[in-house]
């Protein structure tokens, strides 16, 4: 496709939004839309923003995440995770921009050990978060053919705050925690947010057909294996202890085995290779902050 010069990112200050800003820094003009700039539940306000900005691409990485948070506020989860992306899809049809929306492996039930969910696997949301995300998965392609829906797994990468899973674990280890207890029965496709963002740029610039794609680093691992590998790569002394996920009570039912694979595009590089690069960046950032 022709070079895209400008775009908007919703959720631009989060982990994925930060990675997108890095991946599209050269030759692209992306602007992160802050929460104070527009009420994303107000379609008229969104239309006014889009008409003024005239984006060629809009990235939606905004989400009300977390099973417990969505169980406590299902109406808010619906407005942000379902209705807002549908508004973006409607505006994509009206104003002619391409929509790139990010979804989640949480829409799936457990798969058999050693298997992975592909684009043709049948979702079965188990909680308010998963249901709100699956709602957008269904509505967007029903509204516009000008959209990519990209399902992602557990992400690691540069973050504005240590609120994400792996980064929070590593901060605890660096602060001297002697033991980290991590679920050994929750299995995902750990993915480096920068790898994901760079592949998103490739998808757009290669002009791949719009539609649903699974995008993840190759392989799968339990959360315990992910944290153990990162602690080992960083040379930290903290012991990582495997425990069942039931150790950490939650309000909603959760899927535990949801690795992703794609029938349409090659997987990203192996997750351990990507994790090694992230750990080097993480270590350098920590050293620079001292």
Per-residue pLDDT of the chain (290 residues; tens, 9 = 90+): 455 578 999 998 888 999 999 999 988 999 999 878 899 999 999 999 999 999 999 999 999 878 888 999 999 999 999 999 999 999 999 999 999 999 999 999 999 988 999 999 999 999 999 999 999 999 999 999 999 999 999 999 987 665 678 988 998 998 899 999 999 999 999 999 999 999 999 999 999 999 999 999 999 999 999 999 999 999 999 999 999 998 988 777 889 999 999 999 999 999 999 999 999 998 887 766 65
In angstroms, the CA 283 to CA 287 distance is 6
Query: What 8-state DSSP symbol labels residue 7?
Result: E
Domain membership of residue 225 (yes or no) is no
Residues contacting residue 31 through CB under 8 Å, at least 6 positions apart? 6, 7, 8, 9, 12, 53
Contact 189, 217 (CB under 8 A): yes
Domain membership of residue 168 (yes or no) is no
CATH of the domain at 12: 3.40.50.720
Q: Which pLDDT value is given to residue 159?
A: 73
In angstroms, how far apart are the furthest CA atoms of the chain?
Answer: 55
Residues contacting residue 221 through CB under 8 Å, at least 6 positions apart? 187, 188, 189, 190, 229, 271
CA dihedral over 140, 16, 167, 118, signed as positive or negative:
positive
Beta bridge partners of 150: 102, 213
pTM: 0.94
The bridge status of strand 187-188 relative to strand 179-183 is unpaired
Residues written for the chain: 290
Domain count within the chain: 1
Q: Which pLDDT value is given to residue 1?
A: 45
Q: Which pLDDT value is given to residue 284?
A: 83
Domain membership of residue 135 (yes or no) is yes
Query: Which range marks the domain in which residue 63 is found?
Result: 6-160+190-218+260-268
Domain membership of residue 132 (yes or no) is yes
In angstroms, the CA 131 to CA 54 distance is 31
Domain membership of residue 170 (yes or no) is no
Contact 48, 95 (CB under 8 A): no
Q: Left if phi > 0, otherwise alpha if psi is -120 to 50, otherwise beta: which for 173?
A: alpha
Burial class (CB in 10 A: 0-12, 13-18, 19+), 73: middle
Pair of tokens at residue 37: 């700039």
What is the residue-wise DSSP string for 143-177? H-SSEEEEEE--EES--SSTTSHHHHHHHHHHTT-
Domain membership of residue 77 (yes or no) is yes
Residues contacting residue 282 through CB under 8 Å, at least 6 positions apart? 167, 170, 234
In angstroms, the CA 212 to CA 135 distance is 14
> What is the number of helices (H) and of strands (E) in the chain?
10, 14
Domain membership of residue 150 (yes or no) is yes
């Amino acid at each position: 496709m022709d070079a895209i010069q400008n775009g908007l990112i919703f959720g631009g200050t989060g982990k994925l939004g930060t990675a997108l800003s890095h991946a599209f820094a050269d030759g692209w003009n992306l602007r992160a839309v802050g929460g104070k700039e527009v009420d994303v539940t107000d379609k008229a306000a969104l239309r006014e923003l889009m008409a003024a900005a005239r984006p060629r691409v809009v990235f939606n990485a905004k989400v009300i995440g977390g099973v417990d948070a969505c169980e406590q506020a299902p109406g808010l989860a619906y407005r942000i995770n379902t209705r807002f992306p549908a508004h973006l899809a409607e505006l994509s049809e009206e104003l002619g921009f391409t929509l790139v929306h990010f979804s989640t492996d949480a829409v799936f039930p457990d798969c058999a050990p050693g298997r992975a969910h592909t684009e043709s696997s049948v979702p079965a949301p188990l909680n308010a978060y998963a249901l709100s995300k699956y709602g957008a998965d269904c509505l967007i392609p029903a509204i516009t053919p000008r959209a990519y829906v990209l399902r992602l797994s557990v992400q690691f990468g540069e973050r504005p705050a240590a609120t994400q899973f792996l980064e929070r674990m590593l901060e605890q280890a660096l602060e001297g925690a002697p033991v980290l207890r991590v679920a050994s029965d929750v299995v995902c496709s750990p993915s480096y947010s920068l790898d994901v963002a760079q592949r998103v740029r490739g998808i757009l610039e290669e002009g791949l057909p719009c539609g649903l794609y699974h995008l993840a680093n190759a392989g799968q691992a339990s959360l315990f294996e992910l944290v153990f590998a990162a602690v080992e790569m960083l040379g930290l002394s903290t012991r990582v202890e495997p425990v069942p996920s039931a150790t950490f009570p939650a309000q909603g039912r959760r899927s535990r085995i949801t690795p992703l694979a794609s029938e349409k595009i090659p997987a990203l590089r192996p997750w351990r290779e990507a994790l090694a690069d992230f750990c080097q960046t993480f270590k350098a950032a920590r050293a620079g902050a001292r």
